[in-house]
Amino acid sequence: MELESIRGCLENKTILVTGATGLLGMVFVEKILRVQPNMKKLYLLIRASDAKSATHRMHNEITRKELFRNLRKKWGANFDSFILEKVVALPGDITYTSLLGANEIRLRDQLCNEIQIILNSAATLNFDERYDVALDVNTFGVLNVLSFAKMCLRLEILVHISTAYVCGEKAGLIVEDFSLMDELVKRSTKSDLAIVEKTVADKILKELKAQDTSEKFITKRMKDLGTTRAKLYGWPNTYVFTKAMAEVYLEHSKGSVPITIIRPTVVTSTYKEPFPGWIQGLRTVDSVISGYWRGNLTCLPMDPTSVLDMIPVDMLVNSIITAIVMNGNKSSGIIYHVGTSLRNPINMSEMMNFLFQYCTTNPLLHKDGSPIKIDRLKMFKTMDTFRFYMQIRFMLPLEVVKLLNKEFDQYFRDVYVSHNRKLTSVMRLAELYEPYLLFKAIFDDTNSEELRRMASKKYTDAEIFNFDPKCINWEDYVMRTHIPGLWKNVMTKKSHSRL
């Protein structure tokens, strides 16, 4: 065993991962298996009715992904047996009080005697998720993980993945502590805020169901409720509000559990490992890239000088593994911002310049084979000026088309439906992402920088777990790694367009 290596510290360890089917959890699983095949056991909590279904999901949604191609090549014909020996899919859900369900007491006791490390990366990432769902997963799900952690007799550390944007819409330098949530702490002290909010959500949901309304209406009403309640307390959306409440709960309920909180910024495709550009799903910045590249997005409320804080997912995973090794068995919790805005910033204007260059050089095609032509994105520094422009440029002409439809027996119906759909999509995206497109804060990463420095002095293999933001060349990463990776791994699966 290598005593002075990060890999050596992971040898013979038993790890529980929640959210393993998500981007971050999956990259974490692949990295652990690749760098330390001698870890003892990797338990993955997967939503499923039984062990067979959980194992099926593990194979189909995790280990058979392209992400594991290097690991698959390394083990060859023995890959499946290696996975079966090292990885166990646990049927369960963080919304369950015991994670595993009421009938799995024997299994729970076994796990509590084995697990040494817990990574909680499970979350619903939708900004406008149903309030009841977001509370159950992002807030109370975290409490369930904490309760389970308190039963683990050999636990060395619980790492919780939060988000840097729990700061809400605060401006300036955001530090790595709980001070930005002082108001939530005060409210939680006076009354159990999360319980109050869950009571509100449950009451509204019960009333809606009693009215025998459609599921579609219920979903919309519960989404609107989440946004309203978040803004009431000063947060821009349901996602960051429920994540903020989870952090407050962790801080006040952790007891003796050694907890580390990781706050990543916008997570993007892999920088280098296991190969550049791997990603799954359209994430925040990718929705903008996709819409712009397809010619559907021509303007946004976006401050050209605002910093777009992105962190490649493999660098985030490296920071998590380093934090696990450096903070194991330490009673005092610590928070890490993992991002790039302080030490290697890229602003919105630079990002859009790279995007314009790439998309004009590599245009997507219309169904008739002609290239989709795009212009530079129009940026508006305030939401009011953006809305005014949209009103004059798009909404009023659309109203004219609507009137013509009535006069000419719905002759322009297809034109109206198509343009109305695009307009609705753009307005929804603008309203959801406004707080981040006009973001005025920089994330301090003093703790993360110290983690890097201490790891490089203590461990001989610290470079294998590099997460220094200064090493990123943004032009090269955006144009030669991220956008091509987004096209290959996500967009080609959702479109019939061709490069």
**What one-character-per-residue DSSP string does 20-83 give?**
TTSHHHHHHHHHHHHH-TT-SEEEEEE--SSHHHHHHHHIIIIITSGGGHHHHHHHGGGHHHHH
Nearest to 133, CA basis, from 94, 189, 79: 94
**Alpha-carbon span 422 to 407, nearest angstrom:** 23
**Alpha-carbon span 66 to 11, nearest angstrom:** 26
Residue 262's Cβ-side half-sphere holds a number of Cα atoms within 13 Å equal to 29
**Alpha-carbon span 269 to 275, nearest angstrom:** 10
Let me know: does 253 contact 143? Beta carbons within 8 Å: yes
Strands 378-380, 299-301: pairing is parallel
- Catalytic residue of the set 239, 292, 336, 433: 239
Residues 6+ apart with CB under 8 A from 35: 7, 10, 464
Cα distances (Å, whole numbers) of residue 171 to 16, 167, 248, 384 = 36, 9, 21, 19
Q: Is 239 a catalytic residue?
A: yes
- Catalytic residue of the set 13, 31, 223, 243: 243
Can you read off the two tokens belonging to residue 353? 């310049």
Cα distances (Å, whole numbers) of residue 338 to 162, 223, 285, 323, 362 = 11, 29, 17, 11, 32
Count the Cβ atoms, other than its own, within 10 Å of residue 402: 13
**Alpha-carbon span 462 to 468, nearest angstrom:** 11
Residue type, 200: V
Q: Where are the beta strands (DSSP E) in 444-485?
A: none
Can you read off the two tokens belonging to residue 408? 């000419």
Q: Express the helix, strand and coil content of the chain in percent, nearest 5 each.
A: 55, 10, 30
Would you please indicate which residues are annotated as catalytic (active-site) residues? 239, 243
